Amino acid sequence: MTPDFTFERAAEAQGYSRIAGVDEVGRGPLAGPVTAAAVVLDPENIPEGLNDSKKLTKKARTRLYDEIMQVADVSIAHATVEEIDEHNILRASHIAMVRALEGLKTPPDYALIDGNMIPRGLALPSQTIVKGDSLSQSISAASIMAKICRDCVMLSLAQQHPGYGWETNMGYGSKKHMDALQKLGATPHHRRSFKPVHNILYQE
């Protein structure tokens, strides 16, 4: 199963013309922001090979990132660790999604959103699609953009905070990351509301 333009065509049939795909990455990591992307593709110029970013090689993701940037309206946004801890990861993901939509050069008139929940406060007509990054080309494009951008953030943070392995685990709770948490403690970029971090910070 590969994503296609069926959902976008259905929205066009309802009279919408600027349809944005929206996806986020980084719900599961113990550190770093959650990142969302919104992408409005040109129906006449869709890059070949779009798919869920998790199903693509790093080389394919990088190629598609460059191609999407050239032919689409792209916006990438984050919700910070502080916002994740203040609200919760789901709400923070939705905040990032709304920010990404608001950051597009030309406002969209419809949004296709990966998942099963429309973000609170989103006034735009929209539709949720479970596993949308495998079904909608616009959402798969957004998943690629968000993944590449968040990985770049984590690579930068890994240079500032060596030892946690963020350059490879991207903030997820790998053994190296968990061992470093025990040994080095938490950085300002750790999500204190996440149980593994909380337990280490506040252990007896």
Q: Is residue 152 part of a domain?
A: yes
The answer to whether 59 and 28 are in contact (CB under 8 A) is no
Q: Which residues in 26-152 belong to E strands, given as ranges?
A: 34-40, 73-79, 110-114, 126-129
Q: Is residue 139 part of a domain?
A: yes
Residues 54-110 have pLDDT tens digits of 999 999 999 999 999 999 999 999 999 999 999 999 999 999 999 999 999 999 999
Q: Is residue 78 part of a domain?
A: yes
Per the structure, how many domains does the chain have? 1
Q: Is residue 173 part of a domain?
A: no
Distance CA 5, CA 140 (A): 11
Is 23 annotated as contributing to ligand binding?
yes
Q: Is residue 200 part of a domain?
A: no
Q: Is residue 35 part of a domain?
A: yes
Is 24 annotated as contributing to ligand binding?
yes
Q: Is residue 33 part of a domain?
A: yes
Distance CA 204, CA 199 (A): 9
Is 179 annotated as contributing to ligand binding?
no
Q: Is residue 202 part of a domain?
A: no
- What is the pTM assigned to this prediction? 0.96
Q: What CATH number does the domain containing 133 carry?
A: 3.30.420.10
Residue 110, CA distances (Å) to 4, 35, 164, 192 in order? 17, 20, 40, 35
Task: Quote the domain boundaries for residue 147.
Answer: 6-157
Residues 134-178 have pLDDT tens digits of 999 999 999 999 999 999 999 999 999 999 999 999 999 999 999
